[in-house]
Amino acid sequence: MYTGPTIFAQLMQHLPWHHFDRCVTRYNGNHKVKEFKCSAHFRVMAFAQLTYRESLRDIEACLRSVRPKLYHMGIHSTVSRNNLSNANEKRDWRIYAEFAQHLIVEARSLYAEEELSVDLDASVYALDSTTIDLCLSMFPWARFRKRKGAVKMHTLLNLRGSIPEFILISDGKMHDVNVLDYLVPVPGAYYLMDRGYLDFARLYEIDIGQAFFVTRAKDNFKFKRRYSRPVDRTTGLICDQTVILTTFYPAKAYPSDSHYGFTLFGRGGTRPSQCPKMRRISTREGRLPRRPRSECGHNENCWAYPEPWRRIKFRDPEDPSSLLVFLTNDFTLPAMTITKLYKARWMIELFFKWIKQHLRIKAFVGTTPNAVKTQIWIAISTYLLVAILKKRLRIELPLYTILQILSVSLFEKTPILQAFQAWDYETEIPESHNTLMLFD
């Protein structure tokens, strides 16, 4: 008979608690705390995520019913609504955010060899955001619309294993494109995003970072065609073009190997002077000087010569009504590969749908900004923990099935791997000898 730790305790052993202690120390999480410390707080909130508890009363009632087992779960103090509410309100959410970032690093290394839907060796990331609705009367600080509250979770998803690479939780009013300011491009990587991120100055930062982006063009995208490549129209491709920007502001934001030897927009990206007749001019940060045509032989505004872009128009043969126009700064991949790359961006939509359905991030147990962020980051840590467990133990089951099994077996004392092993069994009904006497 197995007399070891419970499945919940075995699950918690897969967490790097020494890194968690460093995060707690960095933000003084246990300052003047005698009983319900940050480690117990994390365990209780993770338990709530795994067992689908949706309120403080649910958590308290469930844990009090198994009070003799709390010590073996690593919870060495009494769990009450007051303790848990105070912890959600006062413990710095950055403790759990930083710990989740460390789990992201661990999960990334485990899923580094996962295959993509596209035959590509480079790293591929999808960038998008999801809105988490909040009741404005209970969360007045999260005003999103006139009668609606919300927070946004901006996510950069590594498509190898669906592991979030970067997460930013902001108020609902923050526009999606602003998250590009926090992005540090990885040279050679591909960033997939919808047309809500079509900002020329910010996309230029990805370009000078030697990374690639794939996005969609807006209806008012103005361009001039330079070159057209032959395409196979039977595949759904309509055109594969090299284009340049023609409108004033996009061209200013996305210049062509600028004629000037200064830093563009104060972001650290410098380009050598390409026009021999144009002097190096020192200007205020973020402003491009206007030079007359006579000095360089070009048009009135030298920035009207932008970097070339690649424009691909595609119509899905299975859905003739869908016409998609892609923009990218990659000129080497086949056009069909670019379309398949953008199609893989749908994985981030599935990621958002999954975590909203199977993690507790739509009903919150606290109403302060700190409580909301704490719950979201612990939910993300729980997702990463299950993903790490799946890879370390080589469990073939999907994450959803693993979560379902964990939700009903956390207090069982059995080896954790055995809980996920599928086996066939037959229900044995004991034979009663008295049944035969009925026919005597």
Task: Compute the distance between CA of residue 393 and CA of residue 418 in angstroms, rounded to an integer.
Answer: 11
What is the structure's pLDDT at 5?
85
What is the structure's pLDDT at 362?
86
The answer to whether residues 48 and 59 touch, using CB atoms and an 8 Å cutoff, is yes
What is the structure's pLDDT at 266?
32
Q: Specify whether the backbone of 131 is left (phi greater than 0), alpha (psi in -120 to 50) or beta.
A: beta
Tell me the whole-structure pTM to 2 decimals: 0.81
Dump the DSSP string for 134-170: E-TTT-GGGEEETTEEEEEEEEEEETTTTEEEEEEEE
Instruction: Dig out the tokens for 328 from the structure.
Output: 């990218």
Could you tell me which residues come within 8 angstroms of residue 145 by beta carbon, excluding any fewer than 6 positions away? 172
Could you tell me which residues come within 8 angstroms of residue 302 by beta carbon, excluding any fewer than 6 positions away? 258, 259, 275, 278, 291, 296
Beta-sheet pairing, 323-328 with 309-315: antiparallel
What is the structure's pLDDT at 245?
82
What is the structure's pLDDT at 2?
64
| The dihedral formed by the CA atoms of 100, 103, 107 and 108, expressed in degrees to the nearest 10 | 70
Task: Compute the distance between CA of residue 26 and CA of residue 19 in angstroms, rounded to an integer.
Answer: 11
Per-residue pLDDT tens digits of the chain, which is 440 residues long: 566 788 999 999 999 999 999 999 999 999 888 888 999 999 999 999 999 988 899 999 988 888 888 887 878 878 889 999 999 999 999 999 999 999 999 999 999 888 888 888 899 999 999 999 999 999 999 999 888 999 999 999 999 988 999 999 999 999 999 999 999 999 999 999 999 998 888 888 898 889 999 999 988 888 889 999 999 998 999 999 999 887 655 666 666 543 332 223 333 333 333 333 333 333 333 333 333 333 334 443 334 335 788 999 999 888 878 899 999 999 999 999 999 999 999 999 999 999 999 998 888 999 999 999 999 999 999 999 999 999 999 999 999 999 999 998 898 888 898 888 854 444 445 555 555 555 55
Q: Which helix (H) or strand (E) holds 273?
A: none
Task: Compute the distance between CA of residue 173 and CA of residue 331 in angstroms, rounded to an integer.
Answer: 35
The sign one gets for the Cα dihedral 213, 344, 98, 372 is positive
Task: Compute the distance between CA of residue 182 and CA of residue 316 in angstroms, rounded to an integer.
Answer: 34
Beta-sheet pairing, 124-134 with 190-193: parallel
Domain definitions of the chain by residue range: 7-100+366-419, 255-305
Residue 27 phi/psi, 5-degree rounding, is -110, 15
Task: Compute the distance between CA of residue 72 and CA of residue 181 in angstroms, rounded to an integer.
Answer: 45
In the DSSP assignment, the letter for residue 264 is E
